[in-house]
């Protein structure tokens, strides 16, 4: 009963958070205040106890993150040990001339019992312990911690991308994704802290050597000068006490160094180290039998220590025999027997354990499922390894934030939610190269320099710059990668200067805007209708599927996006489709009706708030010829006669260039019947030319004809 009460009170004390502050106060007190030998004994005992607990927790932790406080514990334990060195040094130098237990029973025991009272032997043992701790354990653990920290940080973007991919594939939910992201962040923090904590351990080993040397020299001086002790007696007293003090400190230090090595060398599996070692070292009976046979052969060779080798052979052979005898045999439906003690090995029915057959193919090759089919990323961004720092938020990368801003802006402008951008590193790319893909197809690629600025020539500059010449990937303008220190000078010459994050974000924004119709499918269209149902439930109910199938609605919305018309006003679009969907289900014809209803939006998108719209028209005879070509051709196959097409394109190009020189928008105004034909005709040759039908011009807009194009 008393033990339970004590245990509960102790747990409450630990959970209250007072333990660490009190321990730190104790550490400071040990440095400043003289401590009696009895209290030193208790503190040295606590130091050894703490080191053992830390070692055992490290061994039994299933994952490194299960002992995430280890770096902090390591620092506190190191400070405690160094403070004890200071306190014990004070006692040894003040009371060491008395010999024996002048500095406490623990130091006396380590000085007399552990090393047999021989200070020469003790010095050698101490030096060996320091070498083992400093050269082998601490140095190796520090190097592993350093490499682990670097590789963990480098792997973070890839791990986060894998989480996003699993989330979008439906393999995990939001809560699981959040938990896995937190684990990745905690893992990076842990290995980064371990990299720093290993320096404490290494410094502690160096400090142990220096403190011991200083104590021996100081002890000789104090004993011989202040207390008039003979040199031999001073050496006997002070060296034994100093070596005992050093061993008391170095043994817990070695234990903690070993714990640090265990933490940084173990994998991230969910199994404690003991089970891993037993399972991997002694899990295969073939290895045990072979080892026992070799040890037995060595044991019968004349001149060898027969008892030791044969005893070891018998022990290992007994382990193998016990595993074979006690292993559970699991029968499957194919008539095979799988030995539980030998993973992956199959024994034919009726055979013996010495007739091991090859592993069953059924265990190695799983049945294919849809989980094995990788889904295509809607929007993908692959980066070379030198661009990973732009993506990693914990390393100051700003690209993720810029991309979120691009998605938000495009979603607001276009009227539907832009899918997430899946970012991953690609070692096949050049180090400074990135690729943007849509539905698995690469749309754009460019080489950038994260440590430089891109100076873009907007058309008129007043000087030249030194740097790496290139072309702006978004708008194909001449540009130069310059040093960051040249930014102000470049701007004074008329250049537009942006950083690498802006270059990628702008390129991505331009490509997504140009291909917005590919981002809108049935799922996105249904989401738009679901939102419409919250404000106009009857309208949404009448539209799909009573009047039009969802596929037709998707085609109409895609047609609008192809010509750069946002679909924010889904209510107006739905009303038009409901009104005219009973007359026709042709998506192109319905798109024309929707464009008429969205006329104000279209004109404002082209001409702003100006009340006068400059337009280019076609000669009536040319319009008639184009109208006849549409009537003569099959639906969707109408074409313009090659000679006429060349003359028409040349005339339109001259007119558009003149409009651009006058800083005015270029609009071709034609009859509704030939509008789609001309849209397809000028789409790639004249992307800045908008083709409108007469009916799409709102009544309050004045038309000013700037040119008429004939045959």
- What tens digit of pLDDT does each residue of 22-76 get? 767 777 777 777 777 778 778 878 888 888 888 888 877 777 777 777 778 877 8
CB atoms within 10 A of CB 157: 25
Q: Are residues 59 and 192 in the same domain?
A: yes
Classify residue 181: in a domain, yes or no.
no
Residues 387-419 have pLDDT tens digits of 988 988 777 788 988 999 999 999 999 999 999
In the predicted model, what is the mean pLDDT of residues 298-323? 80
Average pLDDT, the chain: 79
Classify residue 293: in a domain, yes or no.
yes
Classify residue 344: in a domain, yes or no.
no
Neighbouring C-alpha atoms within 13 Å toward the C-beta of 569: 15
**Nearest-10 crossing angle of helices 70-95, 19-32:** 30
* HEC per residue, 99-149: CCCCCCHHHHHHHHHHCCCCHHHHHHHHHHHHHHHHHHHHHHHHHHHHHHH
Q: Are residues 396 and 435 in the same domain?
A: yes
Per-residue pLDDT at 335: 40
Q: Are residues 402 and 449 in the same domain?
A: yes
Classify residue 574: in a domain, yes or no.
yes
- Tell me which long-range contacts 369-374 makes (C-beta under 8 A, separation of at least 24): 371/171
Query: In 3-state terms, what secondary structure has residue 346?
Result: strand
Classify residue 606: in a domain, yes or no.
yes
Classify residue 531: in a domain, yes or no.
yes
Domain limits for position 661 = 602-711
Domain count, the chain: 6
Q: Are residues 554 and 585 in the same domain?
A: yes
Domain boundary (535, 570, 597) is at 597
Q: State both tokens at 361.
A: 């193919």
Classify residue 347: in a domain, yes or no.
no
Q: Residue 249's closest CA among 217, 218, 212?
A: 212
Neighbouring C-alpha atoms within 13 Å toward the C-beta of 708: 8
Check pLDDT > 90 for residue 661: no
Q: CA triplet 214, 259, 11: central angle to 5 degrees?
A: 100
Residue with more model confidence, 293 or 268: 293
* HEC per residue, 310-342: HHHHHHHHHHHHHHHHHCCEEECCCCEEEECCC
Q: Are residues 436 and 301 in the same domain?
A: no
Contact 107, 93 (CB under 8 A): no
Per-residue pLDDT at 330: 35
Q: What is the DSSP letter of 523?
A: H
Report the alpha-carbon distance of residue 59 to residue 265 in Å, rounded: 11
Per-residue pLDDT at 118: 67
Residues 480-501 have pLDDT tens digits of 999 999 998 998 888 999 999 9
Q: State both tokens at 100.
A: 């024996």
Q: Are residues 492 and 459 in the same domain?
A: yes
Q: Residue 517's closest CA among 465, 563, 580, 571?
A: 563
Domain boundary (453, 481, 516) is at 516
Check pLDDT > 90 for residue 311: no
Per-residue pLDDT at 15: 52
Q: Which pLDDT band, with edges at 50, 70 and 90, does 248 fall under?
A: confident
Cis check for the bond before 545: say yes or no (omega within 30 of 0).
yes
Q: Are residues 58 and 197 in the same domain?
A: yes
Q: How far is CA 430 from CA 386, 420, 448, 481, 577, in A?
A: 9, 24, 10, 17, 49
Q: State both tokens at 463.
A: 């000087």
Q: Residue 350's closest CA among 372, 335, 365, 368?
A: 335
Residue 376: φ, ψ to 5° = -85, 130
Q: Are residues 623 and 563 in the same domain?
A: no
Per-residue pLDDT at 499: 93
State the DSSP H helix or E strand holding residue 478, giving kind and residue range, or none if neither: strand 478-483
Check pLDDT > 70 for residue 102: no
Contact 184, 159 (CB under 8 A): yes
Per-residue pLDDT at 17: 57
Q: Are residues 578 and 689 in the same domain?
A: no
Report the alpha-carbon distance of residue 323 to residue 320 in Å, rounded: 5
Per-residue pLDDT at 148: 67
Residue with more model confidence, 30 or 426: 426
Neighbouring C-alpha atoms within 13 Å toward the C-beta of 568: 12
Query: In 3-state terms, what secondary structure has residue 363?
Result: helix
Report the alpha-carbon distance of residue 684 to residue 648 in Å, rounded: 15
Q: What is the DSSP letter of 467?
A: S
**310-319, 320-329, 435-444, 672-681: the lowest-pLDDT one:** 320-329
Contact 549, 525 (CB under 8 A): no
- Computed from CA positions of residues 675, 677, 680, 685, in that sequence, does the dihedral angle turn out positive or negative? negative
Q: Which pLDDT band, with edges at 50, 70 and 90, does 344 fall under?
A: very low
Q: Are residues 127 and 246 in the same domain?
A: yes
Place of tokens 């006997």: 236
Contact 527, 567 (CB under 8 A): no
Query: In 3-state terms, what secondary structure has residue 458?
Result: coil
CB atoms within 10 A of CB 261: 21
Check pLDDT > 90 for residue 478: yes
Most confident of the ranges 190-199, 556-565, 626-635: 556-565
Q: Are residues 86 and 213 in the same domain?
A: yes
Q: Which pLDDT band, with edges at 50, 70 and 90, does 125 fall under?
A: confident
| Environment class of 568 (CB within 10 Å of its CB; exposed 0-12, middle 13-18, buried 19+) | middle
Residue 657: φ, ψ to 5° = -60, -40
Percent of the chain with pLDDT over 90: 29
Q: Which residues contact 223 (CB under 8 A, 6 or more apart)?
A: 96, 97, 229, 233, 234, 237, 238
Query: What number of helices (H) and strands (E) belong to the chain?
Result: 28, 15
Report the alpha-carbon distance of residue 224 to residue 238 in Å, rounded: 11
Torsion from C-alpha of 454, 458, 461, 465, nearest 10 degrees: 20
Residue 156: φ, ψ to 5° = -55, -50
Residue with more model confidence, 11 or 397: 397
Report the alpha-carbon distance of residue 167 to residue 374 in Å, rounded: 13
CATH code for the domain in which residue 552 is found? 1.10.8.540
Classify residue 159: in a domain, yes or no.
no
Place of tokens 């991505």: 508
Q: Are residues 248 and 106 in the same domain?
A: yes
Do the strands 346-348 and 336-339 form a parallel or antiparallel pair, or are they unpaired?
antiparallel
Domain boundary (465, 500, 516) is at 516
Check pLDDT > 50 for residue 349: no
């Amino acid at each position: 009963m008393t033990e339970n009460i004590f245990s509960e009170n102790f747990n409450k004390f630990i959970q209250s958070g007072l333990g660490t502050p009190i321990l730190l106060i104790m550490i400071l007190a040990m440095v400043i205040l003289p401590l009696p030998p009895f209290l030193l004994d208790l503190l040295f005992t606590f130091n050894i106890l703490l080191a053992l607990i830390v070692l055992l927790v490290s061994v039994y932790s299933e994952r490194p993150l299960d002992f995430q406080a280890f770096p902090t514990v390591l620092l506190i334990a190191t400070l405690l040990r160094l403070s004890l060195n200071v306190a014990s040094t004070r006692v040894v130098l003040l009371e060491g001339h008395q010999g024996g237990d002048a500095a406490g029973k623990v130091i006396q025991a380590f000085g007399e019992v552990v090393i047999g009272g021989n200070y020469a032997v003790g010095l050698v043992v101490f030096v060996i312990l320091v070498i083992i701790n400093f050269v082998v354990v601490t140095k190796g653990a520090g190097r592993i911690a350093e490499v682990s920290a670097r590789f963990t940080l480098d792997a973070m973007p890839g791990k986060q991308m894998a989480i996003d991919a699993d989330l979008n594939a439906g393999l995990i939910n939001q809560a699981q994704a959040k938990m896995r992201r937190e684990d990745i962040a905690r893992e990076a923090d842990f290995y980064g802290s371990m990299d720093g904590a290993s320096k404490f351990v290494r410094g502690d080993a160096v400090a142990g050597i220096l403190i011991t040397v200083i104590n021996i020299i100081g002890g000789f001086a104090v004993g011989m000068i202040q207390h008039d002790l003979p040199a031999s007696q001073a050496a006997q007293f002070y060296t034994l006490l100093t070596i005992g003090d050093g061993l008391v400190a170095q043994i817990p230090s070695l234990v903690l160094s070993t714990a640090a090595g265990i933490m940084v060398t173990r994998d991230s599996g969910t199994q404690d180290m003991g089970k891993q070692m037993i399972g991997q070292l002694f899990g295969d009976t073939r290895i045990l039998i072979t080892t026992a046979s070799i040890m037995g052969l060595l044991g019968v060779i004349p001149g060898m220590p027969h008892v030791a080798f044969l005893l070891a052979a018998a022990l290992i052979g007994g382990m193998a025999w016990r595993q074979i005898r006690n292993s559970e045999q699991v029968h499957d439906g194919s008539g095979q027997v799988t030995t539980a003690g030998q993973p992956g090995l199959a024994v034919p029915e009726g055979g013996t354990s010495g007739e091991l057959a090859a592993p069953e193919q059924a265990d190695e090759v799983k049945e294919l499922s849809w989980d094995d089919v990788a889904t295509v990323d809607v929007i993908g961004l692959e980066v070379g390894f030198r661009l990973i720092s732009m993506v990693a938020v914990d390393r100051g990368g700003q690209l993720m934030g810029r991309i979120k801003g691009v998605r938000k802006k495009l979603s607001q402008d276009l009227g539907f939610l832009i899918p997430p951008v899946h970012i991953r590193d690609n070692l096949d790319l050049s180090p400074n190269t990135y690729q943007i893909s849509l539905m698995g197809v690469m749309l754009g690629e460019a080489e950038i320099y994260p440590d430089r600025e891109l100076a873009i020539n907007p058309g008129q500059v007043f000087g030249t710059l030194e740097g790496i010449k290139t072309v702006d990937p978004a708008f194909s303008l001449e540009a130069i990668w310059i040093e960051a220190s040249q930014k102000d000078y470049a701007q004074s010459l008329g250049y537009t200067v942006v950083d690498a994050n802006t270059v990628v974000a702008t390129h991505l924004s331009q490509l997504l805007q140009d291909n917005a119709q590919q981002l809108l499918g049935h799922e996105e269209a249904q989401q738009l209708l679901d939102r419409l149902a919250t404000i106009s439930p009857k309208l949404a109910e009448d539209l799909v599927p009573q009047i039009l199938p969802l596929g037709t609605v998707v085609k109409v919305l895609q047609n609008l996006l192809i010509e750069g018309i946002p679909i924010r006003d889904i209510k107006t679009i739905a009303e038009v489709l409901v009104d005219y969907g009973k007359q026709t289900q042709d998506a192109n014809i319905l798109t024309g009706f929707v464009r008429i209803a969205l006329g104000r939006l279209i004109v404002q998108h082209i001409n702003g708030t100006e009340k006068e719209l400059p337009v280019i028209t076609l000669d009536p005879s040319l319009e008639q010829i184009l109208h006849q070509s549409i009537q003569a051709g099959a639906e969707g196959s109408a074409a313009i006669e090659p000679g006429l097409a060349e003359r028409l394109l040349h005339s339109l190009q001259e007119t558009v260039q003149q409009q651009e020189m006058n800083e005015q928008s270029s609009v071709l105004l034609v009859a509704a019947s030939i509008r789609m034909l001309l849209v397809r005709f000028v789409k790639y040759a004249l992307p800045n030319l908008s083709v409108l039908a007469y009916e799409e011009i709102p009544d309050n807009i004045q038309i000013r004809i700037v040119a008429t194009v004939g045959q």
